[in-house]
Structure 1
């Protein structure tokens, strides 16, 4: 046994070969496993790109179990993954038109929400930084907001046609898109009704304030202006002459008093009476 025949492999060489084959098989399985999960990543990227439902954790767990069991041919598994990728790309292409309109719809929703917040800002017209840009954005948002009903209607019609053709619901992030559109439409109608009620309430309040102002603001003031007589026949600061019971006699009496005053005023104020001369008195 110690001597090997010429042209035969020794047991050591055979054992080394077996070890090497096993190592290569393990390496091959590892590489194939990497390729399988690489295909799975590619498949998931396609699904996520078109908002399709995919359970990544469950799919990876199934693949790991199949590979570790050794009961599956990795080449066949890899070929199956390639077929799934081709099918996913076809599904993504069929969803592209609808998804493009979904993006426009989402943008319109976001702009409408921004517009609602903008209109609640009492300082939106102030000359602050960026006010001009916000004003332009608000104008565009109002136009876009008015188109939302028609955008939703068009999108809903396309979703229904797709579901009839594929005979499956159109899912968007695991939720039926048609249901999402119907729910948003109902919520939007509720918001519009709330806005209408708010505007009506504001209008009624302004009307009430105007009526109160007209009612109390037009009432004449009880205070009399300065210099105005209570008599309606008198001018401000200039009374109108009236006949007195004295008649002309009253006027004459006043005139006589004035003339009498003039007579008394003929005597000088500094007049001093001189004493009579004694000689003159004695002659008399």
Structure 2
């Protein structure tokens, strides 16, 4: 076997020296040429296998570089599209490693932008989800699906769209919070006026509304707003009802005070009630002015005065009845006093008659009685004059029948003077009767009723006709 040719490379020189050394060893061993050829062929095959494995690994590495380059380029393309970047990345020149080293800074920069953009998207979407949860009344949002981001669209336009939506929701939240605070203030004012437990009232709506913790977020959900509105409506209705009740009680108090001449000092104790009589429901804002305690106090006072009124009104009504009877009696008009008094007492004790109306009716009767008495006055004056003339006529008859009338006894002079006056008066009786008769007829014609005198219908008229006929 020929000696190997020297080669310029160090590796070839080393291989030659090793082969030469191997030949020497074989010579010393006494290896045959066939065995030597077989071993050399085996050695050559082993070298080929080593080269082949090296080539395969290198080829695989090249493929990996190609794959990495392709993936990097694809990722750059996707990131540019997702981020909405306006940039063109030219394909690199040179070896694969040179191309990779060229695009790696670009890829790193795009990845950094993506991470920063993702943080903005996530924060914005988290805030959106949080506000939506508050509006829906779900409290803290734990739904991870609501925070998912579409990874194909990381553009600034999409981010601006999300932030615009977030701004709308923040405005909606602010408006709702203002409404909640406004409703809470309204409930507080109504609670103060009617002495309700404010904290208990709002706590029943939602515990967050009555919390004093600074970090406690007030509920702004649709349900909370609806319940606040409902409570305000209910409280306003209760306020109107209480005001109406106090106004009625105040009016009743004033009516009772007027009927019973209650002292002003005693009335002042209930100024807080009577001052509400002309008040509008929106004007009533004084703390405790519509409290149940105030209403109960007014009701107790009305009840007390009504008890007093029963006896007082009975006294007043009967006093007016006595006045009415006196008027009738003074003008000789018929009136059944006992029956009238019994009817009045029954009405008072039954409670079916309004005392004010009853007194007003009595006053009307008294006024009519006075008017009627005035219309009878002229006739009654003439009746009295006629009755006096008739009495003097009777006395004159008795006087003239007395045989001792001219005796010089004590008082004879006075009797003589009276007799002279009586004769003059008696001579006027026919004209008195005629005048009285005509006046009675005129009165009856005007009034359309008979002229009554001391329970006897037309007694005067019959008597006058009889006397006149006799004359």
Query: In the TM superposition, what whole-angstrom CA distance separates every residue of 1:231-271 from its partner, at most 9, and x where no partner exists?
Result: xxxxxxxxxxxxxxxxxxxxxxxxxxxxxxxxxxxxxxxxx
Q: In 1, distance between residues paired with 2:347 and 2:317?
A: 11
- Structure with more relative contact order (C-alpha pairs < 8 Å, separation 6 or more): 1
Distance in 2 (alpha carbons) for counterparts of 1:121 and 1:76:
63
Q: Tell which structure's C-alpha radius of gyration is larger.
A: 2
Length, aligned pairs only: 180
Tell me, yes or no, if structure 1 residue 132 matches structure 2 residue 413.
yes
Asked whether 1:181 is paired with 2:464, we answer yes
2:333 equivalent to 1:52 = yes
The equivalent position to 2:424 in structure 1, one of 135, 143, 146, is 143
Deviation string 1:36-85 (CA, Å, 9 cap, x unpaired) is: 11111111111111111111111101101111111111111000001111
Q: Give SS of 2:428's match.
A: helix
Q: Distance in 1 between matches of 2:428 and 2:299?
A: 73
Which residue does the alignment assign to 1:76?
Answer: 357
Cα deviation for residue 172 of structure 1 reads 1.2
List runs of 5+ in structure 2 lacking aligned partners. Answer: 1-196, 198-287
CA distance in 1 between partners of 2:417 and 2:298 (Å): 78
**CA–CA distance in 2 between the matches of 1:167 and 1:18?**
51
Choose from 63, 82, 86 the match for 2:367. 86
Tell me the residue number matched to 2:387: 106
**Is 1:39 matched up with 2:320?**
yes
Instruction: Structure 1 unaligned segments of length 5 or more: list them.
Output: 1-5, 193-284
Relative to the length of structure 2, the TM-score reads: 0.36
Cα distance in structure 2, aligned partners of 1:141 and 1:88:
35
Separation (CA, whole Å) in 1 of partners of 2:300 and 2:446? 56
The alpha-carbon deviation at position 20 of structure 1 amounts to 6.7
Shift of the alpha carbon at 1:117? 0.9
Match of 1:97, SS state, is helix
Question: 1:89-118 CA deviation, whole Å, 9 max, x = no partner?
Answer: 110111111111111101100100101111
- Cα gap change, 1:28 to 1:132, in 2 (>3 Å): same
State the Cα distance separating 1:182 from its structure 2 match: 2.4
1:103-141 residue CA offsets vs partner (Å, 9 max, x unmatched): 110110010010111111111100000001101111111
Q: Please report the TM-score for the alignment, with normalisation by the length of structure 1.
A: 0.58
